[in-house]
Amino acid sequence: MTALESAKKIKAKFGDLISEPAEFRGETTVQLADAEKIAEVCACAKNDLGFDYLMDISSVDNYGDDPRWMVVYHLRGLRHGGELRIKTGVSEEKSELPTVTTVWKTADWHEREIFDMMGLRFSGHPDLRRILMWEGYPYFPLRKDFPLAGKPTELPGVAFTKTAPLEGGPFVTVAGGGDATGREPRVRPPKE
């Protein structure tokens, strides 16, 4: 069964919710109109069509368009070797869609990453926490309105406010500090 046939079967089952399969560079993509149905579509793809392996979930920020978010699922059937891409749009006001951890366990970390980087929530996810950034980080860095240079944050607040233990110590050379006598640690008495 080719990916195109699988896509057609999904379309036959879900009707107008699924777009016509698109082909590009030998890959088949279908788009799901209602993100609320994503778990059902994925369960159908896994159980009825043999897509037992979830390669990846990624997200795209179509900044300025509506719906703003596009969540992209890459499916593979290890038995038949076919691959299928399912996309679904999520509006900015909602920013939430059902989890597919119920279908594949590997979705757990992929969804946490999307929550961390893009700020989409996955309803029903067992443990939706930040994964790459630290807990309490206030921004979503992969959004298009987040600048490449980053934004200053309050956190971590306490880690580096005081002089680091070795800074200015008696055995540390001072980089670029005047002549050799000034840089040389042996001649510098510890500061009080």
Footprint of other proteins on this chain (CB under 8 A)?
24-25, 27, 29, 52-56, 58-61, 72, 74, 78, 81, 83, 85, 104-106, 108-110, 113, 117, 130-134, 141-142, 146, 148
Q: 118 or 188: whose CB is closer to other proteins?
A: 118
Shortest spacing between CB 78 and other proteins, in angstroms: 5
Q: Which C-beta is closer to other proteins: that of 97 or that of 188?
A: 97
Minimum distance from CB of 29 to other proteins (Å)? 7
The length of the chain, given as a count of residues: 192
Query: What's the min distance (Å) between Cβ of 134 and other proteins?
Result: 7
- In the complex, the smallest distance separating the C-beta of residue 173 from other proteins, rounded to whole angstroms, is 25
Q: Which is nearer to other proteins, 155 or 174 (CB)?
A: 155
Q: How far is the CB of 157 from other proteins (least distance, A)?
A: 18
| Min separation Cβ 91 and other proteins, Å | 18
Nearer Cβ to other proteins (59/88):
59
Alpha helix (H) ranges present in the chain? 3-14, 38-47, 107-117, 180-183
Cβ nearer to other proteins, comparing 127 with 184 = 127
User: Residue 99 in contact with residue 124, Cβ under 8 Å?
Assistant: yes
Q: Would strands 27-32 and 96-98 be described as parallel, antiparallel, or unpaired? A: unpaired
Residues 6+ apart with CB under 8 A from 110: 54, 56, 57, 58
The vertex-39 CA angle with 33 and 42, nearest 5°, equals 90
In three-state secondary structure terms, 57 is: strand
3-state secondary structure of 180: helix
Nearer Cβ to other proteins (29/95):
29
Residues contacting residue 107 through CB under 8 Å, at least 6 positions apart: 54, 57, 99, 100, 101
